[in-house]
Chains A and B, each alone.
Chain A
């Protein structure tokens, strides 16, 4: 599973050592900037910045390669834009990409690729648990209690999903094997086939959730307050990075 999309790669780089809140904040700022830039040249700057940061993170090319499974989506976005943007047609036919479309398509696709890459840079340099702890700290001041949840519950939900989702996929595989070996291939209707897998998996997930809830309760989970193994502490370096990011963003947006 190495090089899997959005997976964590252990390391001791500066990026690894930054506070998750700073990293989350920076990725948000970068995303805003990427969306604001309307020229490919601007995006090139972000691409170079990404390469620089990747080298800094020491994670090598595995981060970039991990977006490979998303390639069809990138191609799809590019094609949609190139064909459905109005402008001068490229070929003399009813259905042809346009010049404007090609331009817009590449712009949108590159933006999208960059967003994904920065996202995976965040996840590859930050442990999932630390990301959740960071999100929890960011959410804590919000008046979430009014809507009936706490920041701790949201964070716990996220970390539960980290195990639960892949486990559910494994469970779905087991059910599928069982159905296949009991002749589900003989079914004529493919849609009922998909449903006959989805429904039991959904129900199975409910049962598992019951079990997990019991295990959590036994381990004193209450949801209203908890601490974390990964205590977050802002260092001078974190504050520095944060202010530089904020400064640059403000400069680009308002100057």
Chain B
């Protein structure tokens, strides 16, 4: 569980990026943090594993204060983080070496490291590329390697910082599938994105705007709110909302994709 209480963050140059944020992330939940470029979402999540310390307020991870140096390594083992640029987080020459980096830092025995590496690589479906040079991989494969690298630390909570924003659409949907699978297997997920489509799968969506929380709720509530304020939502949702407003389909439907609207519009009997 992660808890932020009254967190503000002010950059050394005086810019206030986060303003009095209260968030509680429950165990096993899937939370998406949605925000435009520059809304402060990266700054926010960097507080969740102690990469940044709040200027004001307290961040605690499973009861440990991120500001206390004694707990910081325990916190980083508990909260794994995957970053945006697949090319700037590789730390080994081959896939398995990269994945082994974390467990090696934990000073585990090599048998244990091997076990964790094999498991982590299987979790992201890169078994056949174990031995490949990272330099020869595509962005999507690199990003899967990065996820495996974090999984090898066996964290309880996973944070994904715009991990798909530099990927093509195929890799994007593969990565999202992996993230959803991990959540189903019990990992707590915090997923940061500016793609609204990627927020549909979450239990909870938090919208960040200029450093404060603009809305917080289920995807349905949040997307309704965004739609009501006249801004763009994913096309199939916009269509669904408009049809609902026109009384054409049931007002309780929250379709995950366009095709699931078909039954609503034109029920087969």
Direct contact of A and B (CB under 8 A): yes
Chain A interface size, under 10 / 10 to 19 / 20 to 34 / 35 or more: 20 to 34
A44 within 8 Å of B (CB atoms): no
CB of B82, distance to nearest CB on chain A (Å): 9
Q: Contact between B96 and A219 (Cβ–Cβ < 8 Å)?
A: no
Which residues of A sit under 8 angstroms from B93, Cβ to Cβ?
A: 128-129, 159, 162-163
CB of A222, distance to nearest CB on chain B (Å): 7
- With A162-B93, A163-B92 as contacts: A220 and B105 at CB distance below 8 Å: yes
- With A163-B91, A212-B91 as contacts: A227 and B113 at CB distance below 8 Å: yes
- The B-contacting residues of A in range 238-253, CB under 8 angstroms, are none
Interface size on B, residues (CB 8 A): 43
Question: When the two chains form the complex, which single residue of B87, B97, B98 contacts A208, counting CB atoms closer than 8 Å?
Answer: B87
- Report the number of A-B residue pairs with Cβ-Cβ less than 8 Å: 107
Digitize B20-54: 1 where CB-to-A-CB distance is under 8 Å, 0 elsewhere: 00000000000000000000000000000101000
In the complex, identify which listed stretch (B3-11, B128-136, B166-174, B253-261) lies at the interface while the others stay far away: B128-136
Report whether over half of chain A's contact residues are helix, strand or loop; otherwise say mixed. Answer: helix
Q: Contact between A219 and B105 (Cβ–Cβ < 8 Å)?
A: yes
Q: Which residue on chain A has the smallest CB distance to residue B89?
A: A215
B83 within 8 Å of A (CB atoms): yes
Q: How far is the CA of A226 from the CA of B49 in the complex (A)?
A: 21
Q: How far is the CA of A159 from the CA of B106 in the complex (A)?
A: 17
A254 within 8 Å of B (CB atoms): no
Report whether over half of chain B's contact residues are helix, strand or loop; otherwise say mixed. Answer: helix
6 additional A-B pairs beyond A166-B135, A211-B88, A229-B117, beta carbons within 8 Å, are A163-B135, A211-B85, A214-B51, A216-B101, A220-B153, A231-B110
Which residues of B sit under 8 angstroms from A127, Cβ to Cβ?
A: 94
* Partner-A contacts on B (CB < 8 A): 49, 51, 73, 76-77, 80-81, 83, 85, 87-94, 96-98, 100-110, 113-114, 117, 131, 133-136, 146, 149-150, 153
Contacts A/B (CB < 8 Å), 28 sampled: A1-B133, A129-B97, A156-B91, A159-B91, A160-B91, A163-B93, A166-B135, A170-B135, A208-B87, A211-B88, A211-B89, A214-B51, A215-B81, A215-B83, A215-B91, A218-B49, A218-B76, A218-B81, A218-B83, A219-B102, A220-B77, A220-B105, A220-B106, A222-B105, A227-B104, A228-B100, A229-B114, A231-B110
